[in-house]
Amino acid sequence: MTEIQIRMFQIMPLGDSGVGKTTLLNRYIDDSYIPGTAITMAQLRITNVEIEPGVKVKLQIWDIGGVKRLRKMIPLHIPNTDGFLLVFDLTDRESFANIKNEWIPFLPESSPCVLVGHKSDHKHRCVSREEAEELAKELGVSYVEASSVTGHNVKEAFETLVQQIYREKKKQEPQKQETGDDCVRVSLGVGQLFPLLTLMLFIFLEVYYNV
């Protein structure tokens, strides 16, 4: 009988509002481009990825709005998040500067991350590949230029991160842990339930009382 190992990773795209986090997610999960998405409150998308023969990952992706009033939700999710896509818009220098100024400070040191220069299809880019690569080097992360309009490198951005998380996790578990024959043990632990409940409460307060 073939042994299939199933793991569960949680990832989160981070970046200013409007850089295209939701669009990137739609392209990756549904292979669709929906222009002009509304401001995201928060959504959880789930997909499956095979990272090597016999190893599958159930990937949970939290998409939380990048606008300032929603940012207070992000720290609740950080402890349960295995890796981050640091997304900026290649046509918006401020979103590039904010990776270092606004988003990196949220993250625990040496979190698996991939820097994504998004909207690479756009003619009016104002962040060069060289400076983005320099930032990636400074942060010690991989850099990918992607476009959700064309789909270019979208899969690569997510899957580079998944591979990196997998490598980190394997380093921390020297002994191979088997999950059994063809079996899956995926459970929602307290560690995941708490932020989920807090998030639901937050959205309720935000929508009904605009706190």
Q: Are the C-beta atoms of residues 88 and 119 closer than 8 Å to each other? A: no
Min CB(89)–ligand GDP separation in Å: 7
Q: Which two tokens stand for residue 2?
A: 């073939």
Q: Which of 10, 22, 148, 153 binds Mg ion (CB under 5 A)?
A: 22
Q: Which stretch binds ligand GDP (CB under 6 A): 14-22, 129-137, 162-170, 178-186?
A: 14-22
Pick one of 21, 61, 115, 163: the residue that binds ligand GDP (CB under 6 A): 21
CA distance 67 to 16: 7
Report the chain's terminal Cα–Cα distance, integer Å.
Answer: 54
As given in the structure block, the two tokens for residue 102 are 């606004």
Is position 118 an interface residue for ligand GDP (rule: CB under 6 A)? Answer: yes
Q: Are 125 and 149 spatial neighbours (Cβ–Cβ below 8 Å)? A: no
Residue 151 CA: distances (Å) to CA of 28, 141, 154: 8, 22, 6
Tokens encoding 99: 């990776």
Contacts to Mg ion from residues 40-59, by CB under 5 A: 40
The least distance separating ligand GDP from the CB of residue 27, rounded to whole angstroms, comes to 8
Q: How far is the CB of 2 from ligand GDP (least distance, A)?
A: 38
**Is residue 148 a contact residue for Mg ion (CB under 5 A)?**
no
Amino acid type, 37: T
95 binds ligand GDP, rule: CB under 6 A: no
Helix or strand (DSSP H, E) at 83: strand 83-89
Q: Output 21 or 118, the one with its CB closest to Mg ion.
A: 21
**Residues 54-93 close enough to bind ligand GDP by CB under 6 A:** 66
Where does this chain bind ligand GDP (CB under 6 A)?
Answer: 17-23, 35-37, 40, 66, 118-119, 121-122, 147-149
